[in-house]
């Protein structure tokens, strides 16, 4: 586990973009796992800039998104299809056929979920998974008490998540109550994971995920079982970590390690 603390959201986003660019440069046909939400927005902006100004080439990249709301058509402004198209895909050169996002409108969810899992394997598995974190410590839409071995499936959203999302919809009734999401088990199979978090509202979830026990109550805590996780945190989100000094000490001393 590596924890990097940055003073601003912009620095957090740039550090994450450098990691993604490094993964693509090392393996041009890298398979990326992508997240939605406000947290990775700056990362996507920086990747778009790198593509346009520095020639970062997504021509062989494959992507898998974590989740999607059930029932929202792809063109709905709150759908994760729309979010990804607007914030990343329409600005970079990822071949359309290499883009995978769970379907919120399939007529057979069970078959779709099984196909999504198979497709990840067929593409060689996820090399680098980007994650945000929900206020209740969830990753993707794996709400509290999700099995830590779970696979892609339909989840009923927790009240807190529905309330958190209500601000994006005109009326509370429009907020979806189901989502299709990669499971915790699916996410843990990625070769490398980067979790981003910013803002004071995430500080409680971050301390629980990093320093609390591994528990299905905080599905991000399952990342403690993964051997290559990097947390890139903006200072406010990291502010409640009990061992913050130690993580910073490690960052300072690591370059001179034998």
Assess whether 67 carries a catalytic annotation: yes
Q: Per rule CB under 6 A, is residue 39 in the interface with ligand GLP?
A: yes
d(CA 237, CA 197): 6
Decide whether 160 or 248 has the Cβ nearer to ligand GLP: 160
- Which H or E element spans position 45? helix 41-54
The position carrying tokens 């406010």 is 236
3-class SS of residue 125: coil
Does 69 bind ligand GLP (CB under 6 A)? Our answer is no
Residues in the chain: 258
Q: Which of 133, 184, 232, 233 binds ligand GLP (CB under 6 A)?
A: 133
Q: Does the active-site annotation cover 138?
A: yes
Q: Which residue number, 135 or 212, has a Cβ lying nearer to ligand GLP? A: 135
Burial of 211 (0-12, 13-18, 19+ CB in 10 A): middle
Instruction: Choose between 5 and 130: whose C-beta lies nearer to ligand GLP.
Output: 130
Number of Cβ atoms within 10 Å of the Cβ of 77: 10
User: 197, 231 in Cβ contact below 8 A?
Assistant: yes
Interaction of residue 156 with ligand GLP, rule CB under 6 A: no
Q: How far is the CB of 64 from ligand GLP (least distance, A)?
A: 13
Residue among 127, 138, 234, 236 flagged as catalytic = 138
The one among 33, 42, 104, 134 contacting ligand GLP by CB under 6 A: 134
How is 121-143 classified by DSSP, letter by letter?
A: HHTT--SEEEE---TTS-BTTB-
- Tell me which of 42, 104, 132, 176 binds ligand GLP, using CB under 6 A: 132
Find the binder of ligand GLP among 15, 33, 67, 89 (CB under 6 A).
67
58 sits near ligand GLP (criterion: CB under 6 A): no
Q: Where are the beta strands (DSSP E) in 18-152?
A: 31-34, 62-65, 67-69, 99-100, 128-131
**Intra-chain end-to-end CA distance of the chain, in Å:** 19
**Cα separation, 221 vs 216, whole angstroms:** 8
Considering beta carbons, is residue 38 or 145 the nearer one to ligand GLP?
A: 38
* Catalytic residue check, 164: no
Which one of 4, 99, 140, 210 is in contact with ligand GLP (CB under 6 A)?
140
Q: Is 57 a catalytic residue?
A: no
Contacting positions for ligand GLP (CB under 6 A): 35-39, 66-67, 132-134, 140-141, 161
**Residues involved in catalysis:** 67, 136, 138, 143
């Amino acid at each position: 586990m590596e924890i990097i603390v940055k003073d601003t959201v912009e620095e957090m986003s740039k550090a994450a973009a450098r990691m993604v660019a490094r993964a693509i440069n090392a393996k041009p046909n890298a398979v990326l796992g992508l997240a939605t939400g406000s947290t990775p927005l700056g990362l996507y902006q920086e990747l778009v800039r790198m593509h346009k100004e520095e020639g970062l080439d997504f021509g062989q990249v494959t992507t898998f998104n974590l989740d999607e709301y059930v029932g929202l058509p792809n063109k709905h402004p709150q759908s994760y299809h729309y979010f990804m198209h607007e914030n990343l895909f329409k600005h970079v050169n990822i071949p359309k056929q290499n883009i995978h996002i769970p379907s919120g409108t399939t007529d057979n969810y069970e078959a779709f979920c099984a196909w999504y899992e198979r497709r990840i394997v067929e593409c060689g598995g996820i090399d680098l998974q980007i994650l945000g974190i929900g206020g209740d410590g969830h990753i993707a839409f794996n709400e509290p008490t999700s099995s830590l071995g779970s696979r892609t499936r339909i989840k009923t959203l927790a009240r807190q998540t529905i309330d958190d999302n209500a601000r994006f919809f005109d009326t509370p009734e429009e907020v979806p109550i189901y989502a299709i999401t990669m499971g915790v088990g699916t996410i843990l199979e990625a070769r490398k994971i980067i979790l981003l978090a910013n803002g004071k509202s995430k500080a409680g979830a971050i301390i629980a995920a990093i320093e609390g026990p591994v528990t299905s109550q905080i599905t991000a805590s399952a990342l403690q079982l993964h051997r290559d996780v990097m947390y890139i945190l903006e200072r406010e989100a990291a502010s409640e970590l009990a061992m913050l000094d130690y993580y910073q000490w490690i960052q300072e001393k690591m370059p001179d390690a034998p």
